Amino acid sequence: MTEMEQLLPHRAPFLFVDRLENVSEEGVVGYRKYTMDDFFFKGHFPEYPVVPGVLLVEAMAQCGGAGLKKLRNEEGLFFLASIEKAKFRRQVVPGDEVRMEIVNERISGMMIKQKGKAFVGDEMAAEASWMCIMKTPGSN
């Protein structure tokens, strides 16, 4: 089992973080390399494959969750509750490695508020803020 599979409940083809670095209380930096093997490129768009923006936001949220899990060994699952201020500035295409820089804005009990930016090289591809609710085993 990979480190990401230990930190996140997601599995292929819906695991969008390859590795983490710089995990701290302030935030986390993580990476994802996109390849033509990613399932969504077959339909988005076959003649001009690009990563759907919503999946870039999902990748950032996964990165933030994995960082918290690694830092705090949290039990339970994180579910997106809201997404705000999402902006897409550059297309991400097969072969691009995305660096995700996530900031922890607020962590309290069962709620996590984070924001992040996704970069290809020095170019920002996407940014957003989101809130997750944590569900522990046995809770509804």
CA dist 129 to 32, 33, 83, 139, Å?
19, 22, 6, 26
Q: What pLDDT is attached to residue 140?
A: 62
- Catalytic site residue from 10, 19, 44, 90: 44
Active site residue 10: no
Q: What pLDDT is attached to residue 103?
A: 98
Q: What is the DSSP letter of 107?
A: E
Rg (CA), the chain: 15
Q: What pLDDT is attached to residue 76?
A: 82
pLDDT along the chain (140 residues), means of 10: 95 97 97 97 95 98 96 87 98 98 93 97 98 79
3-state secondary structure 14-43: CCCCCEEECCCCCEEEEEEECCCCCHHHHC
Q: What is the DSSP letter of 47?
A: T
